[in-house]
Amino acid sequence: MASSDLEQLCSHVNEKIGNIKKTLSLRNCGQEPTLKTVLNKIGDEIIVVNELLNKLELEIQYQEQTNNSLKELCESLEEDYKDVEHLKENIPSHLPQVTVAQSCVKGSNLDPEEPFKVEEPEPIKKPPKEQRSIKEMPFITCDEFNGVPSYMKSRLTYGQINDVIKEINKAVISKYKILHQPKKSMNSVARNLYHRFIDEETKDTKGCYFIVEADIKEFTTLKVDKKFHVLLNILRHCRRLSEVRGGGLTRYVIT
Per-residue pLDDT of 121-151, as tens digits, reads 666 665 555 567 899 999 999 999 999 999 9
Compute mean pLDDT per 10 residues along the chain, 255 residues long, and list them.
74 86 73 72 84 88 89 88 81 58 49 56 60 89 93 90 95 95 92 95 93 95 92 94 93 95
Q: Which domain range does residue 233 map to?
A: 142-254
pTM, two decimals, is: 0.49
234, 152 Cβ separation under 8 angstroms: yes
**Residue 176 belongs to domain with CATH number:** 1.10.10.1890
Boundary-marking domain end, from 79, 98, 128: 79
Q: What share of the chain is helix, strand, coil (3-state, %, to 5)?
A: 60, 5, 30
Which of 28, 52, 79 is the last residue in one of the domains?
Answer: 79
* Cβ burial 11-50 (10 Å sphere, 16+ → b, else e): eeeeeeeeeeeeeeeeeeeeeeeeeeeeeeeeeeeeeeee
**DSSP at 204:** G
Report pLDDT for 124. Answer: 63
Give the neighbor-by-neighbor strand order of the sheet with 241-246: 210-211, 249-254, 241-246
Q: Which residues are paired to 210 by β-bridges?
A: 253
195: in domain: yes
* Domains: count for the chain: 2
Separation between Cα atoms, residue 163 and residue 43, nearest integer Å: 39
